[in-house]
Chain A
Amino acid sequence: MDWQAIWLSLRLASATTAILLVLGVALAYWIAFSNRRWKFLVEAVVAMPLILPPTVLGFYLLLALGPRSPIGAFYARITGGMLPFSFGGLLIASVLYSLPFTVQPVAAAFAAVDRKLIEASWCLGVSRAATFRRVIVPLARAGIGAGAVLTFAHTMGEFGVVLMVGGNIAGVTRTVSISIYDQVQALDYDAAWRTSLALLAFSFAALALTYALQRGAAGKRRWGLWPAN
């Protein structure tokens, strides 16, 4: 097995999940509690990666991050490096590509928190930020957990966007799925088998964990990702 690729994918997935637990949760809070009339537009943009072909997203990202773009130029001035075909570029792409996998379950969990509990906290003199930390997050933790697991798993299996933005550089941008592709191209079916099986087992474990989290939330405790019947 290509341990280097697995290690790279693990690092990428961890970093993506960590970033999205901040950005995605903030965005989910806004989506769950904002009354803006144009909120649906933001929701649509966030959900785009779900249906957009990864190559399309990758193509636009490649242009947006390239050295001739403002972002790429700025990055080059700061670091002297280049975003496309680097781990940093890959990370930016992953964060955007996995955005809905964090935002949607977390926003659903936030929206399912009984409004009265939030108001009760306010009336007890507890600030909005502290209410978020002490009421909303604990009650939505199953949804946040599900979002994190889904994001991690989704990043682990990323292919199209990685190929477009990151290319195929061993130890820098060659992730597990790219490695499998390489193995098949090289007719090394044994290696492809092993890596694929590992990814299959991992994906199953991740989804089983997600559903177990939601079940625990919906059944035993009567609060969490979705409201009890």
Chain B
Amino acid sequence: MAGELICRCCKRFASGFTIDADWLLPVGSAPVTVLFGPSGAGKTTLLRLIAGLERPDSGSIVFRGEEWLGARSLEPQQRRAGFLFQEYALFPHLTAEANVGFGARAPARAERLIQAFELDKLRAHFPRQLSGGQQQRVALARALAADPALLLLDEPLSALDAASRMRTRQDLRRMLLESHVPSIVVTHDRAEAIALGDWIAVMIDGAIRQTGPVRDVFRRPVDPRVAESLGVENILPAEIVARHAGLLTVAVGQCRLECVDGGESGAVLACIRAEDVAVTREGRLDSSARNHVAGMVREASIEGPLARIEIDCGFPLMAVITAQSAAELDLKVGEQVFAVVKATNVHLVSENR
């Protein structure tokens, strides 16, 4: 079912923090939306506003043409927004089965979800007897049993330990897709955002700054704050010096970088993801689409299968390469290397937004 969630909410807190979110979210075309942002950006509060657990100072929420907040507001009970709490909030006095059946539209629906979520053997267990992953499955089954029109998940993986978080991530995405209920997942973890979401909304300082398909937003953040929050390691002040044949040449310090012309002008920031920076010892290759920047290895650290190399090119440039290639290059601090970046991987954003 197509439709959209239109959320315009304003809420001021005594601390001075203000949520001022203007969010139009197509639901249906993008089954899993990630609400992404740094801690304290107001993501959980926005989710609670949508669920009706929090009242804004002003605003309106319309979901698929139904007014949830406005002249006539609906109670949380009437909104049919399933909410998955960070610590799952299972009823401690009820078994897994009774938890799933708690708000079930029909017993048969709860039973089907118990089967689908592989909770059959756990049905008589109390929440305290379940692992984090099992609790999550019970919580999700419980929310779906009430036949929600929209699922809201607040940091669904944060209560799990690192090992099961990775495993559960893919399970969670599969379960969300199979439920056929549009969902909004709050997270501050980039890997989680990429693994779980089809669509992403980036929230910073109480405002939605950018929305779009996950891949697009990660490739083309609209402003430096978004780029920073998305973990673009290299955000470099740059100046446009030439424009020809669909390519822009920008000056970063003493270097010249070529990038795709997106129509930018004036003061810009060149955003380069560290994994898009290759490191070589060879000099200039004859490839016009590549930027070759000479530099000096400032620091090289191995982090598991990856190596982070900080190169001093007159400006600091971070590169992430595999630990194996780092070993093959045998990089030492102070050595001369070349950083190679494709023109298509240099993404310009206007500085003053």
Contacts and interface: CB of A to CB of B under 8 A. Distances in A.
B92 A116 contact: no
Interface stretch (B17-25, B83-91, B193-201): B83-91
Interface in A107-137: 114, 116-117, 119-127, 134-135
B329 interface: no
Interface stretch (B73-81, B210-218, B227-235, B343-351): B73-81
Given A116-B87, A120-B85, A127 B92 contact: no
Interface residues of A, number: 19
A119 B102 contact: no
B76 A119 contact: yes
Contacts of A223: 92-93
Interface string B89-100: 101110000000
A178 B122 CA distance: 57
B83 A123 contact: yes
Given A124-B103, A125-B146, A119 B83 contact: yes
Contacts of B81: 123
Interface of B: 51-53, 75-78, 80-83, 85, 87, 89, 91-93, 102-103, 128, 142-143, 145-146
B92 A124 contact: no
A45 to B, nearest CB: 29
A139 B93 contact: yes
Contact of A122 (B76, B142, B145): B76
A38 to B, nearest CB: 20
A72 to B, nearest CB: 44
Contacts of A139: 91-93
A221 B77 contact: no
Contacts of A126: 77, 102-103
14 contacts: A116-B85, A116-B87, A120-B83, A120-B142, A122-B53, A122-B76, A123-B76, A123-B77, A123-B82, A125-B80, A134-B102, A139-B93, A221-B92, A223-B92
A229 to B, nearest CB: 16
Contacts of A123: 51, 53, 76-77, 81-83, 143, 146
Given A125-B80, A127-B77, A138 B102 contact: no
Nearest to A135: B91
Contacts of B78: 125
B93 A114 contact: no
In the A-B complex, the 3 residue pairs with the smallest Cβ-Cβ separation, listed nearest first, are A124-B103, A123-B83, A116-B89
A221 B91 CA distance: 12
A125 B77 contact: yes
A122 B75 contact: yes
Q: Indicate the member of B53, B75, B81 with the most A CB atoms within 10 Å.
A: B53
Given A122-B75, A123-B81, 5 more contacts: A120-B85, A121-B91, A121-B102, A126-B77, A126-B102
A124 B142 contact: yes
A134 B103 CA distance: 11
A117 B77 contact: no
Contacts of B51: 119, 123
A68 interface: no
A120 B89 contact: yes
A77 interface: no
A138 to B, nearest CB: 5
A90 B168 CA distance: 63
Q: Indicate the member of B83, B91, B146 with the most A CB atoms within 10 Å.
A: B91
Nearest to A131: B77
Given A116-B87, A119-B76, A222-B92, A124 B102 contact: yes
Q: Indicate the member of A114, A117, A120, A135 with the most B CB atoms within 10 Å.
A: A120
Contact of A138 (B52, B89, B93, B146): B93
B178 to A, nearest CB: 20
A123 B148 CA distance: 9
Given A119-B89, A139-B92, A125 B83 contact: no
Contacts of B87: 116
Nearest to B145: A124
Contacts of A120: 83, 85, 89, 91, 142
B238 to A, nearest CB: 47
A117 B85 CA distance: 9
Contacts of A127: 77
B215 to A, nearest CB: 31
A122 B85 contact: no
A127 B76 CA distance: 9
Interface string A216-229: 00000111000000
A122 B89 CA distance: 12
Nearest to A126: B103
A127 B145 CA distance: 16
A119 B85 CA distance: 9
A119 B103 CA distance: 12
Nearest to B102: A124
Contacts of A116: 85, 87, 89
Nearest to B152: A123
A227 to B, nearest CB: 12
Contacts of A134: 102
B262 to A, nearest CB: 42
